[in-house]
Amino acid sequence: MNDAIGDPARLAALAESGLLDSPREAGFDRFTRLVAEVLHVPVALFTIVTPERQVLKSTVGVGELRETPLSHSFCRHVVDTGAPLEVVDARAHPRVHDNPAIQDFGIVAYLGMPLVTAGGVRIGALCAIDHAPREWTGRDHGVLEDLAAAMMAEIELRLANRQVAAAAAELHFAATHDSLTRVANRRALMADLAAVIEAGRPATFAVIDVLGMRAFNDLHGHRAGDERLARVARRLEDALVGEGEVYRLGGAKFCAILGAPEPLEPALERLGVECQASAVELPAEAADVDAVLALADARL
């Protein structure tokens, strides 16, 4: 295995890109079609190279083939060096003359350009292949280099969009979830509770107050107390999975919006802590968010 191909940072970047083992995409197929049409070759490939295999992200001229063993890859040398590779006749080329793809796939002439991110990650290669010996011209090099650059711009845009989407998801999670317990927070509760009330669909709003937290903190310390609340939150989520959303109201109070009250008692038994709970039937017992919270507190 080559060090450059197997570099852990490179493999992590490949996984993050979302390109591996993803479906064919029209945007990339346009590039391989252009390679085949402009350079007049029967085969054009956009490949992604891993330590074990060559993934064919986009292809022209190889039917339904979607990957090959690394042993059959010419593009591995492009990824390895980060430089173009020109092969006039693979059968006589010192680097690839023993590559089984010559016999298995009829690869004779090859021209490959590296696809490298702005961060220096060698994703793979864009290549043109012929079944007969071919002297590649300066024009061939220029066209393939330009198309590789355009494809790389498309890849970079997709990577940037993925990063923006991931950052937005992280910000949304931070804004709507409690940092300690990782369950939804009061802000998310207000929005969800208002939506349930506005929709007028039957639901049960339950408040669970974990008792004895002050004494527990005094005895074991606040760090242990935080860990205890986090465990309670996880157990409550596990107990109510599929039944409703769990929120942290604040302090040692949690709540849940349930489709029906039945799951509440079994869930409380699984928490492993002393607690008290109250429930409000929606929309029958309260018409707005403030009324729901006030009634639930009054019943504790």
Residue 114 belongs to a domain with what CATH number? Answer: 3.30.450.40
Alpha carbon separation from 186 to 13, 190, 222, 226 (Å, rounded): 36, 6, 22, 18
Share of the chain above pLDDT 70, in %: 99
Pick from 110, 143, 173: which residue ends a domain?
Answer: 173
215 within a domain of the structure (yes/no): yes
Q: Do residues 251 and 213 touch, judged by C-beta distance below 8 A? A: yes
- pLDDT tens readout for residues 102-142: 999 999 999 999 999 888 899 999 999 999 999 999 999 99
Rounded CA-CA distance 13/120 in Å is 10
142 within a domain of the structure (yes/no): yes
Query: Structural domain tally of the chain?
Result: 2
Rounded CA-CA distance 133/282 in Å is 77
Q: Which domain holds residue 197?
A: 186-299
CATH of the domain at 249: 3.30.70.270
With a CB cutoff of 8 Å and minimum separation 6, the contacts of 199 are: none
- pLDDT tens readout for residues 140-168: 999 999 999 999 999 999 888 988 998 99
192 within a domain of the structure (yes/no): yes
Residues 227 and 251 in one domain: yes
Instruction: Name which of 77, 60, 174, 38 is nearest 46 in CA terms.
Output: 60
Residues 191 and 50 in one domain: no
Instruction: Name which of 52, 35, 54 is nearest 128 in CA terms.
Output: 35
From the centroid of its chain, how far is CA 106?
37
178 within a domain of the structure (yes/no): no
Residues 65 and 129 in one domain: yes
Residues 85 and 209 in one domain: no
What's the confidence (pLDDT) of residue 127?
98
Question: Which 3 state secondary structure label does DSSP give 208?
Answer: strand
Residues 221 and 93 in one domain: no
Tokens representing residue 114 in the block? 């590296």
Tokens representing residue 58 in the block? 């986009």
Pick from 173, 206, 226: which residue ends a domain?
Answer: 173
Per-residue pLDDT of the chain (300 residues; tens, 9 = 90+): 446 898 888 998 888 888 888 888 999 999 999 999 999 999 999 999 999 999 999 999 999 999 999 999 999 999 999 999 999 999 999 999 999 999 999 999 999 999 998 888 999 999 999 999 999 999 999 999 999 999 999 999 988 898 899 899 999 999 999 999 999 999 999 999 999 999 988 999 999 999 999 999 999 999 999 999 999 999 999 999 888 899 999 999 999 999 877 778 888 888 889 999 999 999 889 889 999 999 999 998
Residues 115 and 154 in one domain: yes
Rounded CA-CA distance 269/208 in Å is 12
Residues 206 and 160 in one domain: no
Residues 157 and 230 in one domain: no
Pick from 139, 173, 207: which residue ends a domain?
Answer: 173
Question: Which 3 state secondary structure label does DSSP give 229?
Answer: helix
180 within a domain of the structure (yes/no): no
Residues 12 and 111 in one domain: yes
Q: Name residue 257's beta-bridge partners.
A: 205, 245
Residues 28 and 159 in one domain: yes
Burial of 160: CB neighbours in 10 Å, binned 0-12, 13-18, 19+: exposed
What's the confidence (pLDDT) of residue 1?
41
Rounded CA-CA distance 208/86 in Å is 69
205 within a domain of the structure (yes/no): yes
Q: Do residues 46 and 57 touch, judged by C-beta distance below 8 A? A: yes
| Continuous H helices in the chain | 8-17, 26-39, 75-81, 101-105, 138-176, 186-199, 213-220, 222-239, 264-269, 289-299
3 within a domain of the structure (yes/no): no
Residues 16 and 156 in one domain: yes
What's the confidence (pLDDT) of residue 16?
83
Residues 153 and 30 in one domain: yes
Alpha carbon separation from 233 to 9, 253, 254 (Å, rounded): 35, 10, 8
Q: Do residues 279 and 206 touch, judged by C-beta distance below 8 A? A: yes
